[in-house]
């Protein structure tokens, strides 16, 4: 048995040596390790799971296609992922591990704003290129040139979303927003409140809760006493947003509901139940099966569902696109040197699963590091996500 195995190995090596560099799977003598971070447990775990899967799908496609050709070298891509449980301290530890232990120069994927700030304390000084879906204003800026946001944030979606609410539902005058008590939560509520005030709405409540909260009755009692017409579970992750909506319904709230940063409605519906989730509008989520998304996103959704038996949310698509953009930039730069890849990244738009992807955001963040694509507003109907409108972020209009 062992002799046969040995012979087989020799034959395989001989075949590989004679096959030439263009044959898929051959000549991959180098490995490119890419890091993925995210909450893989706890209330925000669905974010991390989608980040890893999005990266995994693109990495596998590249590896199956013969590897990533950068200059004259071909690399097999290896992913290393760590769970930071949506905690900043754990995120810093994980980033240190990736950069100093695993020696990665690219971290493609992270979620939850406070953890992004923690990761950037490691990635920026080390010139590690870092792409994420965190929703914090402070995550992008001229002092963080190696950082990119791969998904539209509250600053791109809140204003067009509430403009649409005002146009289509003029009876809504008072809106209450609730978010987790951390960077992404505060930033999201700030963007929502700014959009609301700018459009002439009244802010009925601007409330926060600690991540991991299960019983929202106390804070909801306070919010509902302010008699809002609409409740926005702004930056709450799906599990917690589901509990908020379920408990708001139990406390008698029957008004319209929004989810400005909502990205995984399947989990929200499962936790809240169909009745409590009915009618939730979200400008951040997408339905990969809808006519409002491109054919490439629909195809990605089919592949994802076939592989993981679940329908992907926007985070999986965004991280798949980010992985695609970064690896294409490496090929354009003909190098893995992050300075050269950074230069390639900012030179031209990239054709991705979203279609043509533009880097913008200078007006908001002082630097063009925000991926821009059209906003699709969806509504949950009978437990399903139905896309109902498409609007453009102000930066993309320009």
Partner 1 sequence: MSIDLLVQALLNGFGLAMVYVLVALGLTLIFSILEIINFAHGEFYMLGGYVTYYAYALFGLNYFATLGLAILTVGVAGVVAERLIFHDLRGKALNAFIVSLGLLWVMQAGAQLAFGVLDKPVPSAFSGIVRVLGLVISVERLVVTLSAIVLIIALYLFLRLSRPGRAMRAVAQDADAAALQGVNIEAVSALGFGVGCALAGGAGGLLAPVFAVSPAMGALPVVKAFIIIIVGGMGSLPGAVLGGLLLGGVEGLGALFMGSAAVNILGFLMVIAVLLVRPRGIVGGA
Q: Which of 11, 251, 349, 386 binds partner 1 (CB under 8 A)?
A: 251
Site string for partner 1, 47-66 (x = CB under 8 A): -xx-----------------
Q: Where are the alpha helices (DSSP H) in the chain?
A: 2-19, 45-64, 88-96, 113-123, 154-168, 183-198, 217-225, 238-250, 265-272, 274-277, 295-308, 314-333, 338-345, 362-365, 394-397
Nearer Cβ to partner 1, position 67 or 185? 185
Q: Which of 23, 31, 181, 347 binds partner 1 (CB under 8 A)?
A: 181
As a whole number of angstroms, the distance between CA 134 and CA 315 comes to 10
Q: Which of 43, 283, 301, 361 binds partner 1 (CB under 8 A)?
A: 43
Nearer Cβ to partner 1, position 11 or 251? 251
Site string for partner 1, 204-243 (x = CB under 8 A): ----xxx-xxxx-xxx-xx--x-------------x--xx
Closest distance of CB 89 from partner 1, Å: 16
Size of the site for partner 1 (CB under 8 A): 34
Closest distance of CB 225 from partner 1, Å: 5
42 touching partner 1, by CB under 8 A: yes
**Contact region with partner 1 (CB under 8 A), list: 36-44, 189-197, 314-322, 354-362:** 36-44
37 touching partner 1, by CB under 8 A: no
Site string for partner 1, 252-291 (x = CB under 8 A): x--------------x--xx-x------------------
Closest distance of CB 40 from partner 1, Å: 6
* SS3 labels along 82-108: EECCCCHHHHHHHHHHHHHHCCCCEEE
Nearer Cβ to partner 1, position 29 or 210? 210
As a whole number of angstroms, the distance between CA 327 and CA 350 comes to 11
DSSP 24: T
Give bridge partners of residue 387 from the DSSP assignment.
Answer: 378
CA-wise closest residue to 284 among 122, 393, 144: 393
Handedness of CA 114, 39, 150, 176 (dihedral sign): negative
23 touching partner 1, by CB under 8 A: no
Phi, psi of 84 (to 5 degrees): -110, 5
Contacts of 313 (CB under 8 A, 6+ apart): 46, 50, 263, 264, 265, 266, 285, 286
Nearer Cβ to partner 1, position 85 or 257? 85
Assign 385 to helix, strand or coil: strand
Could you report how far apart the first and last alpha carbons of the chain are, in Å?
67
Assign 179 to helix, strand or coil: strand
41 touching partner 1, by CB under 8 A: yes
Closest distance of CB 164 from partner 1, Å: 30
Closest distance of CB 262 from partner 1, Å: 15
The residues binding partner 1 (CB under 8 A) are 40-43, 45-46, 48-49, 83, 85, 181, 208-210, 212-215, 217-219, 221-222, 225, 239, 242-243, 250-252, 267, 270-271, 273
């Amino acid at each position: 048995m062992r002799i046969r195995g040995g012979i087989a190995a020799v034959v395989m090596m001989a075949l590989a040596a004679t096959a030439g560099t263009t044959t898929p799977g051959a000549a991959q003598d180098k490995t490119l390790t890419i890091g993925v971070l995210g909450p893989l447990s706890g209330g925000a775990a669905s974010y991390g799971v989608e980040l890893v899967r999005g990266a995994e799908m693109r990495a596998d496609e590249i590896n199956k296609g013969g590897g990533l050709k950068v200059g004259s070298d071909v690399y097999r891509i290896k992913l290393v992922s760590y769970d930071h449980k949506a905690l900043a301290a754990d995120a810093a530890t994980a980033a240190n591990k990736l950069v100093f232990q695993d020696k990665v120069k690219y971290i493609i994927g992270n979620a939850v704003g406070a953890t992004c700030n923690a990761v950037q304390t490691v990635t920026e000084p080390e010139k590690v290129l870092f792409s994420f879906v965190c929703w914090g204003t402070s995550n992008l800026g001229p002092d963080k040139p190696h950082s990119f946001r791969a998904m539209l944030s509250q600053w791109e979606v809140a204003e067009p979303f509430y403009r649409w609410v005002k146009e289509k539902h003029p009876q809504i005058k008072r809106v209450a927003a609730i978010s987790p008590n951390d960077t992404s939560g505060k930033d999201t509520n700030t963007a929502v409140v700014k959009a609301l005030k700018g459009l002439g709405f009244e802010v009925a409540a601007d409330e926060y809760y600690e991540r991991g909260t299960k019983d929202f009755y106390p804070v909801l009692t306070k919010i509902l006493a302010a008699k809002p017409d609409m409740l926005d579970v702004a930056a709450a992750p799906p599990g917690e947003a589901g509990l908020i909506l379920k408990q708001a319904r139990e406390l008698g709230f029957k008004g319209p509901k929004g989810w400005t940063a909502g990205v995984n409605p399947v989990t929200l519906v499962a936790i809240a139940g169909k009745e409590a989730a009915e009618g939730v509008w979200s400008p951040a989520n997408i339905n990969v099966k809808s006519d409002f998304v491109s054919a490439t996103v629909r195809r990605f959704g089919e592949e994802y569902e076939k592989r993981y038996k679940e329908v992907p949310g926007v985070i999986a698509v965004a991280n798949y696109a980010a992985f695609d953009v970064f690896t294409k930039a490496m090929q354009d730069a003909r190098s893995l040197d992050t300075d050269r890849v950074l230069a390639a990244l900012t030179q031209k738009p990239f054709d991705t699963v979203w279609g043509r992807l533009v880097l913008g955001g200078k007006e908001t963040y002082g630097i063009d590091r925000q991926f821009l694509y059209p906003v699709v507003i969806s509504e949950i109907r009978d437990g399903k996500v139905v896309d109902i409108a498409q609007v453009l972020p102000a930066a993309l209009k320009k």
